[in-house]
A and B are shown apart, each in its own frame.
Chain A
Amino acid sequence: MSLEKTHPKEVKQILSKYPPEQKRSAVMPLLYLVQREEGYVNKAAMQDIAQMLDITETEVASIVGFYTLYHDEKAGKYRMQVCTDLPCALRGADEFLNNLCGNLGIKVGETTADGLVTLEGVMCLAACDKAPMFQTQGPDGIKYHENMTVDRTLELIEALKQADREVK
């Protein structure tokens, strides 16, 4: 179903940010909108957005491919993205990620067996003074978790699991 039908208010609000003759500018916010629902952007959604903005589907796909926060494949419900860039690594981020892998029994890039969490290593998130840190990307947007320990991270995963069960 078209976004204009499922989310008329959001679509209108997004389009109102840009001059009417420049509606292509809305492609990124619209992609976020579909991704929030599905966790990734599928082909039908790309077609829908292309049609809405009078651009080709290839153009929309090239945006999804270029920007790392858009995903064209399903992963865990939450992507847990640990910063292992230089400043965080100087404060123990690599060890943190390793320990987390050990505790979850998965490698970087893999998803927990219950499909809840995909663990990833990412570049600087502008929180270098609060390492170890990660962001979670999920249905409720992107959230920062700073000055973390492995124990507190496992607690967070437990809480996400609980919430997930309640929804189901």
Chain B
Amino acid sequence: MAHVLLRHRDIPDINKLDVYKKNGGIDAFKKSVTKMQPNEVTDVVKNSGLRGRGGAGFPTGMKWSFIDNKNWPHYVVANADESEPGTFKDREIMESNPFQFLEGLAIASYAVGATAAYVYLRGEFWQVAAFLDEKIAEMEKAGYLGDNLFGTEYSLKIFTHLGAGAYICGEETALLESIEGKRGQPRVRPPFPPSFGLYGKPTIINNVETFTNVPPIITNGADWYKSMGTADSAGVKLFSLSGRVRRPGNYELPFGKTFRELIYECGGGVQEGRPVKAIMPAGASSSLIVVDDKVLDTPMDYATVRTLGADLGSASVIVIDDTVSVDWIINKTIHFFKHESCGKCTPCREGNYWMQTITHRIHSGEGKQEVVDLLLYVAKQMQGICLCALGEFATMAVVTGIERFPQDFKKVVKA
């Protein structure tokens, strides 16, 4: 099947504007601006069943319909922070199929009446940002961005903005603070961005992959999109497959394919033919799933993965084999979250500090079973009381690791 998102794998040079144009590019944006009312665009996206690809899976069209039309101007922001360990899909889109992403961002801007849009990229994507700047300039030159687009009243500018190495800036309100030139710390919500966003104005924030789905939806219609995937999760998804597989990489699949298909057919199975011991389906923020045949044959969509006691999130599937011990894994994840906690609220700041100290003790063989129990207690104390989801994410691997892989901890604790 031809790719919907990774079209560069089928069409060479689609990152050149004339090639993109020849292959139907910009048609959807032109159709939106010249033939559709903004709310009609939003309705098509709503009916397509598209859900946000940044992790939470929130229905995209519904989010757009929340924009506050009593307060102007409006902004649209693309979340290209992509910092979840195990996630590398947005980067491939922006590097290889940039116009489809930018066109989707432009369509979203038209749908909510924004005349300025920002792409917030993590600071490490310095080269990607320079590349996008070139692509934006090409679109301006061709008359697809700028004033009075396609002979209408509608005008739009797109700007890139680089972060500077802070995972928390992927959280949408921290991201907005960062564009405003402040430290990237989450805001207390409500109000939510569609009523109070960038510079206090109504703002729609979506993930890069979410926007990239929009042009083909406008061109081919909501029913076409819904014909792919499952009833719960419409359409196609990029899976970033990493860890101990033979062929790590991005794979575009309709929702509903199984973990087995992803790991074995796409990924070529585990290195040295070893068995899969655990899966983290949403990067370092994931719960650890104990893997057996039933799990491998589970269809990957938002609702079904939840029945395994985990979230699909951004679909950054980390594969762990039987050579790896879970105490080592949580030592890695806690190191990450301790480093990335923004420090704004006490349970996350202090909790991560203690979790790191205790995990380190266990991992280096200095802890008794009581220390493992203490770690579990600290993690559970943090749950439900942090200001943003990072605090929650930090506890997922710890709690599920200790509860689902007790034997790995028995091996490292002192008698």
Please list the residues of chain A having a beta carbon within 8 angstroms of any beta carbon in chain B: 17-19, 22, 24-29, 31-32, 53, 55, 62-63, 66-70, 85-87, 89-91, 123-129, 135, 141-144
Contacts and interface: CB of A to CB of B under 8 A. Distances in A.
Interface in B230-256: 240-244, 248-250
A87 B124 contact: no
A164 B380 CA distance: 52
A128 B86 contact: yes
B62 interface: no
A158 to B, nearest CB: 23
Contacts, number: 130
Contact of B333 (A25, A53, A86): A86
Interface string B134-167: 0000000000000000000000000101111111
Interface in B326-342: 329, 332-333, 336, 339-340, 342
Nearest to B280: A86
Interface string B49-89: 00000000000000000000000000000000011111110
Most buried by B among A28, A89, A143: A28
Contact of B242 (A18, A24, A25, A87): A87
B80 to A, nearest CB: 10
A141 B88 contact: no
Interface of B: 82-88, 90-91, 122-127, 130, 159, 161-167, 178-184, 199, 240-244, 248-250, 284, 318, 320, 324, 329, 332-333, 336, 339-340, 342
A86 B329 contact: yes
B122 A67 contact: no
A85 B241 contact: no
Contacts of B82: 126
Contacts of A87: 85-86, 242-243, 318
Given A69-B123, A87-B86, A123 B333 contact: no
A126 B83 contact: yes
Contacts of A69: 123-124, 164-165
Contacts of B126: 141-142
Given A28-B161, A91-B248, 11 more contacts: A17-B159, A25-B181, A29-B161, A67-B164, A85-B284, A90-B242, A124-B83, A124-B284, A126-B82, A135-B124, A144-B124
Nearest to A31: B164
B123 A89 contact: no
Nearest to B130: A141
Nearest to A19: B199
Contacts of A29: 161-162
Contacts of B166: 66-68
Given A123-B167, A129-B241, A26 B181 contact: yes
B181 A32 contact: no
A48 to B, nearest CB: 15
A68 B199 contact: no
B320 A90 contact: yes
Contacts of A53: 181
A100 to B, nearest CB: 19
B122 A126 contact: yes
A127 B183 contact: no
Contact of A128 (B159, B242, B333): B242
Contact of B127 (A18, A32, A126, A142): A142
12 contacts: A26-B181, A32-B123, A67-B123, A67-B165, A67-B184, A69-B164, A86-B336, A90-B320, A123-B336, A126-B122, A129-B88, A144-B124
A123 B130 CA distance: 22
